[in-house]
Amino acid sequence: MVKKILLLDNYDSFTYNLYQLIGAQFEGEIIVKRNDAIGLEYIENNNVNGLIISPGPKKPKDIPFVKELIKLCFRKIPVLGICLGMQCINEVFGGSTVRALYPMHGKAVTISHSGTGLFLGLPENITVARYHSLVVKVNSDDLIISAKTADNVIMGIQHKRYPLWGVQFHPESFLTEYGDEMIGNFLNIL
């Protein structure tokens, strides 16, 4: 059976950059759907093997469907949230999304990470692209902070037991080192 990934598009200009990055490594079917074009039943009715939630211009509170989809999926299939997608994951587990001290749009910064999950096999410190003005505050024993900046801004989270990850930065950006490896680590779990 052909594996399928649902790439949930939150109306972001980076979605098809992400599509290209996934497609370069994934031999299955990549289905792109806007966040208001499907219902919760889509995942089960279409035998989706993984969910990637794109960045987007809104706040998690503006897209409750995405949070409901995360709740439905995270125990069943691997889920990766990018930027807004990570913020939604964090809120599902009781965290908050707040305004950053200063916006970071098109900025390359160095992060440190756990070396596990998405970061498996990567150097200890890597450069990533930040395009956001919101940040997360984690408030859950179920989530682990897996990456952060030198000034302790959370750049990655993962669930302790389930294949659920989020990154605040953009692995699909040319400013991010090892973006293809991070996506590859996610795809290897499918």
Give the active site residues: 83, 170, 172
Residue 162's Cβ-side half-sphere holds a number of Cα atoms within 13 Å equal to 18
In contact, 75 and 112? CB cutoff 8 Å: no
Show the beta-strand stretches assigned E in the chain.
4-9, 29-34, 50-53, 79-82, 96-113, 125-137, 143-149, 154-159, 164-167
Cβ neighbours around 105 below 10 Å, total: 9
